[in-house]
Amino acid sequence: MTKNIHLQELVYQSLDIVNEAAHFIKSNLHNVTGDQVIEKGTNSLVSFVDQNAEKILIEGLSKVLPEAGFITEEKMVEQSQKQYTWIIDPLDGTTNFLHAAPYFSVSVALYDGEKVVAGIVHEVMHDEVFFAYEGKGAFLNHKKIQVTQRPLFYDVLIGTGFPYKTEYLSDGHFTALKQVLLKTRGIRRFGSAALDLCYVASGRFGAFYEKALNSYDIAAGALIVKEAGGVVTDFKGSNNWLFEGEVLATAPQFSEDMLDILSAFDIE
């Protein structure tokens, strides 16, 4: 379905738009007061920065691909799936941003109705720009990246996250966490799934897993992992990850190790 568009040209045009949104976010790092923050749900926050960054992305991407629909976190535009659909998280890691913890990103993906074909994740504070488009590999600031080649599971870091709503926490979360801690170099929980996926793609993490996610959290980062040579599945090893709320991204040599650990989520 991608034959009607030129992905490389589209991605390079989109990089400028994502950069504009990232610059806006960074320039407002200390400008949000408590009364400007809305709690959408338990531990789920939004401010004018998220909303205006999303508007920047919608306006720019609508010019790049006018026929595309949108799935966005803040719903600043009508939500619709079309032949092509932009899947956008304007500020992944809002809680980090509001606490000035420097780990948050802009995430933009293009979905063709069957699969994600392009993705950009811009880490705001250090201007690390990860991107990929179908069949051409993954890049960090225009240099090719790949998943870790380390052969030993105990020699890698693993990324994860936890549901915002604590009622979604299960015994499986803690059982898996214990097993990861026992069997690897350690675990990291930074608070931006989009960036965590890019850390797998660039070899910083051996794997990343998380449950209770949305498509806009993972669409771009997951493609970047796949184009960097990684494997992306749900917790059972199948491909139902984009809209089903759980994702496992690994370097290929650790896929079975991680799936064994995540079988704990079936014991609830």
Q: What percent of the chain has pLDDT over 90?
A: 79
Residue 158: partners with Cβ closer than 8 Å, 6 or more residues away: 180, 184, 186, 187, 188, 205, 206, 207, 208, 209, 258
Between 165 and 221, the more confident residue is: 221
Instruction: Report the distance separating Cα 240 and Cα 7, nearest Å.
Output: 24
Q: For 174-183, how does the pLDDT look when each residue is reduced to its tens digit (9 = 90+)?
A: 999 999 999 9
Fold entry, domain 153-266: D-Maltodextrin-Binding Protein; domain 2 (3.40.190)
Phi, psi of 55 (to 5 degrees): -60, -40
Q: For 196-213, how does the pLDDT look when each residue is reduced to its tens digit (9 = 90+)?
A: 999 999 999 999 999 999
Phi, psi of 77 (to 5 degrees): -145, 160
CB 128 within 8 A of CB 142: no
Residue with tokens 């000035």: 100
CA dihedral 133, 134, 135, 136 (to 10 degrees): 0
Quote the pLDDT of residue 34.
63
Quote the pLDDT of residue 46.
63
**Run of H or E residues at 106:** strand 105-111
Mean of pLDDT values over 49-74: 95
Q: What percent of the chain has pLDDT over 70?
A: 93
Domain at 2-145, CATH homologous superfamily? Fructose-1,6-Bisphosphatase, subunit A, domain 1 (3.30.540.10)
Domain boundaries, the chain: 2-145, 153-266
pLDDT tier at 35 (50, 70, 90 boundaries)?
low
Instruction: Report the distance separating Cα 141 and Cα 130, nearest Å.
Output: 6
Tokens (6 digits) for 204: 């910083």
Q: Supply the DSSP string of 12-42, one letter for each residue.
A: HHHHHHHHHHHHHHHHTTT---GGG-EEEET
pLDDT above 50: residue 15: yes
Mean of pLDDT values over 69-98: 92
CB 172 within 8 A of CB 179: no
**Collapsing DSSP states into helix, strand and coil, what is residue 73?**
coil
Quote the pLDDT of residue 27.
93
